[in-house]
Amino acid sequence: MNFKTSKPEWALLGICLTLILVALLGPAVAQPANHHHFADQRGLWGIPCAWDVLSNLPFALMGFWGLSCLKRVSAISRVQRTCAALFFFGLVATAVCSSWYHWRPDDAGLAVDRLGMVVAFAGLIGLAVADRISARAGMVLAALVLVLGPLSVQVWAATGNVLHWAVLQFGGMALMLWLASVRPLDGALAVRLVGIILVYAVAKLFEQADPAVFAWTGQMVSGHTLKHVVASLAALPVIFSLRNAAKSGQNPAGDRTKVARQTLSVNA
């Protein structure tokens, strides 16, 4: 077993320590007072804030689709498989937890919403690190996010300071941006991280423009509703990488049998 730390692992460690120091030493940041005031308050079929609730369905669909694709892939490492599964399970959890929150938006529901997101964050960041740095670094970082994520939510719930959650979310995306500049390891899934980052950026723009989008569309759809739909598309680069891996490694046992039969035929 190789315990030597590589240069990319040292760089990753430095980035993580910097983010932790920012979270611990940075100034307290209060959550906006109007955070729960979403533009589209319309109900449907007895569901309050219906479109913000129902627009979480794509998260679940992407999660189940991804898990289905993962079953067909054999030629990936155990760490990548674990992190991918964690990411897709996290998407399903996000669908449930975010629906819970938007049914009756308040701080308690928001805490549940963020806990669901933590699972998806952990899987995605762990997968990206395993893809570009090392399998052990990916597993360690996924575990770290699973621990620090709920702690950041607990700190916010107890003190009102949202800085730790902001560092986890935006620092995680900054880490993804750095990872996008690192070449994938041999035999890795080679997930297109730039696509994920662009999806995240567009989703955030819709989130910030919630009432403006609602007014611009003639109160047909709000920015927050579109944010859910767009954010779910972050699963596509991972799913496409899994599908490519499944095609390239399709039925290796059958291929070996075919080669053996051809060899016997030539020898005969």
User: What is the DSSP track for the chain?
Assistant: ---PPPHHHHHHHHHHHHHHHHHHHSPP-BPPTTTT--S----BTTBTTHHHHHTTHHHHHHHHHHHHHHHT--SS-HHHHHHHHHHHHHHHHHHHHHHHHHHS-SHHHHHHHHHHHHHHHHHHHHHHHHHHT-HHHHHHHHHHHHHHHHHHHHHHHHH-B-HHHHHHHHHHHHHHHHHHTSPPPTTS----HHHHHHHHHHHHHHHHTHHHHHHHTTSSS-HHHHHHHHHHTTHHHHHHHHHHHHHHTS-HHHHHHHHHHHHHHHH-
pTM of the model: 0.87
Say which range, 136-145, 212-221, 229-238, 239-248, has the weakest mean pLDDT: 239-248
Residue 1 covered by a domain:
no
Q: Is residue 14 part of a domain?
A: no
- Is residue 185 included in any domain, yes or no? yes
Kindly report the CATH number assigned to the domain that includes residue 97: 1.20.1070
Domain total in the chain:
1
Residue 207 has pLDDT above 90, yes or no: yes
Residue 166 domain-assigned? yes
Residue 193 domain-assigned? yes
Mean pLDDT check: name the lowest of 7-21, 117-131, 242-256: 242-256
Assigned domain for 8 exists: no
Inside any domain, residue 33? no
The boundaries of the domain holding residue 221 are 40-267
Task: Give the rounded percent of residues in the chain with a pLDDT score beyond 70.
Answer: 91
Question: Looking at the domain assignment, is residue 104 inside a domain?
Answer: yes
Residue 265 above 70 pLDDT?
no
pLDDT digits (tens, 9 = 90+) for 94-112: 999 999 999 999 999 999 9
